[in-house]
Chain A
Amino acid sequence: MGKNDLIGGSLWDHYSNKVADRMNNPRNLGEISEDEAKAMGARLIVADWGAESCGDAVRLYWAVDEKTEKIVKGSFKSFGCGTAIASSDMMVELCLGKTVEEAMKITNLDVEKALRDNPDEPAVPPQKMHCSVMAYDVIKQAVAIYKGTDKEALDDQEMVCECAQVTLSTIKEVIRINDLKTVEAITEYTKAGAFCKSCIKPGGHEEKKYYLVDILKETRAEIELEREKEEAEKFENKSFFQKSKMIQAFFDAEIRPMLQSDGGDIDIVDIIDKGDDLELQVRYQGACHGCASSTAGTLYFIEGKVHESLSDKIAVSIV
């Protein structure tokens, strides 16, 4: 917030000339008939998509060459605002000549970039980015129809920020990897929440399933819980009784089988609490008993393992 937010938007002043031009004179407007598609040796795909939040709707027509799977002709019709019309028009253009698979990779961000007058200036103001998302969704719907599947099957990930196409798993991962603590930082790393801002917190343009504030809060809580758990798991933070049990269990699982494989063995005689340190008194059995290296090499090996796996504050002595 600040100076730039104090005067309400003259929304249309922030549209690029390309957006205005395509709103006034859409190039790819219209329908494609079955006969027309057939004459081109192509299959006709008609996909409808609507955005519940703002009531916009778009219909996409594709003539797809059956052999090459290329989109040889495209057109659209739209019930929507200027941004919705202009972005649908540009979206159709970006699809032309591409295969269905290639077209599926076109996002609303590509459409918005193609509508820019210069590369550094957004084509539409931030709150209008969501109007371009519908153009992206209808492509997926068209692909789903072409492939005879559901659009949901193509939406493999939960989308949090549709404007920037950022998924739930990406946001969680970025928070964890970079130890992010603020929503601003998430936006900086991923661009989620940078456009229409609906996904930041409830009360924006549209109601969302996930909000960045909640994802951040939950992920931070998860991280904290894991840290606490990790901390609690540490040998140092256990009671003397638990430490003793851990040592016994460690010997049974790791140390004794190794010695037993050479015909030897070891018993824990006592564990003595010395404040911060522990003294672990052991006695060799079998082949280890009387073995030349048992008081030097074997002992160092055992102590090394104990330090590595449990704590370096345990001194091992032979009794």
Chain B
Amino acid sequence: MNKIYLDNNATTKVDPRVMDKMAPFFVEKYGNPNSLHGFGTETHPAMAEALNSLYAGINASDDSDILVTSCGTESNNTVLKGIFIDYILKGEKKHLITSQIEHPAIRNTCEFLESIGAEVTYLPVNDDGIVTPEILKKHLRRGETALVSIMWANNETGLINPVKDLALAAHEYGALFHTDAVQALGKIKVDVQDTDVDFLTFSGHKFHGPKGVGGLYIKEGLKLTPFFHGGEQMGRKRAGTVNVPLMVGMGYALDLAVKALDYENKEIRRLRDKLEDAIMSIKDTIVIGKRELRTPNTILVSFKGIEGEAFLWDLNWNGIAASTGSACSSEDLEADATFQAMHVDADLSHTGVRFSLSRFTTEEEIDRAIEVIKKTVERLRSISSTYR
């Protein structure tokens, strides 16, 4: 039985072309890029090429910085803790704004900063699951809000926030704007000049690059206290020996992902819609968020009367990987945070199952997934004590 991977918002497979591009830098061209000798300097052209791809991938100006970090979480921590040190610790501003639907990399970091003196507002979403500029403006405080951090696309629902307008609102009130674009980059167009963000986080393994590498865009002219202090790597803005193969891999992966954006928005969207239509044809199912407001690869669905983990169990026995943010499969029994923020009915909040596709997803896989999903719904509803 061939396994089917529909959990691409968790991670993606490394594109074999990316793998080939990285390979020489593990064994042959292994020099430390900071060394003066040939072993070190021979890595530079590939690093420059990777940087070019990263800058081009988000349309960053040459005068801005893109730090290569170890992951999206490090990038997010760098921004939030950097702002804390640069503003809140100095007593200049004390207020941060984020949303109730952020990834734990933002949410938990904000909670930590709250525990050491920051004041944090967690914005609600509207009925569509979106953070609107109107909601943001109500909570911005001129002279007090140091930073607004709102994700570009939500990892569970795929819902896309109006980042351009949110950044504009933040700037109107003199606050800086950061977006965690981990779930957006490679799926939709991300342009940091058109959308005037100050900081932007991304992660290589979400667009068919390797794990363990991420990026942080810092708009030209902005200063941010480094997260890692140490040697003189990354223009002294992020110490730690640069992981050349992963950087090369992430650069090339982004290059390929940007080139595949058309495919993503046509073919992957078509397959996603096909799966979604089939799911919606099963009675008592709800897909969260309007289709046109979501990234083209994501469906978060609630099958009434079926607990999310039980659903994943059956899928897994049939070789299909999906995901649930709800209760039992995670360390936390609380209902899904996104569901809660969206005020989804409590009865449904433990029923969420997320399917996320990638450019490696095939039509045959979707056909088989549909078949298995239908059988699973039938079986688990026959067990269910709440489904009538």
Contact = CB atoms under 8 A, between A and B. Distances in A.
B316 interface: yes
* B contact patch SS: loop
B328 interface: yes
A77 B333 contact: no
A85 B386 CA distance: 13
B386 A81 contact: no
B376 to A, nearest CB: 12
Given A12-B316, A206-B333, A81 B385 contact: no
Interface string B307-333: 101100100110000000011110111
Contacts of B310: 23, 80-82, 84-85
Interface in A45-78: 48, 53-59, 76-78
* A contact patch SS: mixed
B384 A79 contact: yes
A79 B387 CA distance: 8
Nearest to B313: A82
A68 B384 CA distance: 31
Interface residues of B, number: 27
B85 interface: no
A193 interface: no
B27 interface: no
B7 to A, nearest CB: 14
A18 B276 CA distance: 34
Contact of A79 (B306, B313, B326, B335): B306
A199 interface: no
Given A24-B317, A77-B384, A55 B332 contact: no
A57 to B, nearest CB: 5
B385 to A, nearest CB: 4
A267 to B, nearest CB: 69
Nearest to B317: A24
A131 interface: yes
A55 B385 contact: no
Contacts of B327: 54-56, 81
Interface string B334-370: 1100000000001101100000000000000000000
A221 interface: no
Nearest to A48: B385
Contact of A59 (B309, B313, B317, B385): B385
A205 B333 contact: yes
A76 B306 CA distance: 15
A130 B331 CA distance: 12
B116 interface: no
A59 B305 CA distance: 13
B1 interface: no
Contacts of B222: none
B328 A79 contact: no
Contacts of B332: 205
B382 to A, nearest CB: 8
Contacts of A165: none
B36 interface: no
Contacts of A59: 385
Nearest to B348: A55
Interface string B287-319: 000000000000000000111011001001100
B327 to A, nearest CB: 4
Contacts of A128: 328
Contacts of B307: 55-56, 79-81, 84
B384 A81 contact: no
Contacts of A78: 383-385
B98 to A, nearest CB: 20
Contact of B309 (A24, A48, A81): A81
A12 B313 contact: yes
Given A12-B313, A82-B313, A54 B333 contact: yes
A55 B346 contact: yes
A131 B385 contact: no
B385 A77 contact: yes
B345 to A, nearest CB: 11
B182 to A, nearest CB: 19
Contacts of A26: 383
- Among A53, A56, A128, the most chain B Cβ lie within 10 Å of the Cβ of A56
B328 A54 contact: yes
Nearest to B328: A81
Contacts of B387: 79
Given A48-B385, A54-B328, A58-B385, A81 B313 contact: yes
B73 to A, nearest CB: 14
- Among B309, B316, B346, the most chain A Cβ lie within 10 Å of the Cβ of B309
B316 to A, nearest CB: 7
Interface of A: 11-12, 23-24, 26, 29, 48, 53-59, 76-85, 127-128, 130-131, 205-206
22 contacts: A24-B317, A26-B383, A54-B328, A55-B326, A55-B349, A55-B350, A56-B328, A57-B385, A77-B383, A77-B384, A78-B383, A78-B384, A79-B387, A80-B310, A80-B328, A81-B307, A81-B309, A82-B309, A82-B313, A85-B310, A127-B331, A205-B333
Given A24-B317, A79-B384, A85-B310, 15 more contacts: A23-B313, A26-B383, A54-B350, A55-B307, A57-B386, A78-B385, A79-B305, A80-B328, A81-B307, A81-B313, A82-B313, A127-B331, A130-B333, A131-B328, A206-B333
Would you list the 3 A-B pairs with minimal beta carbon distance, nearest first? A55-B350, A77-B385, A81-B328
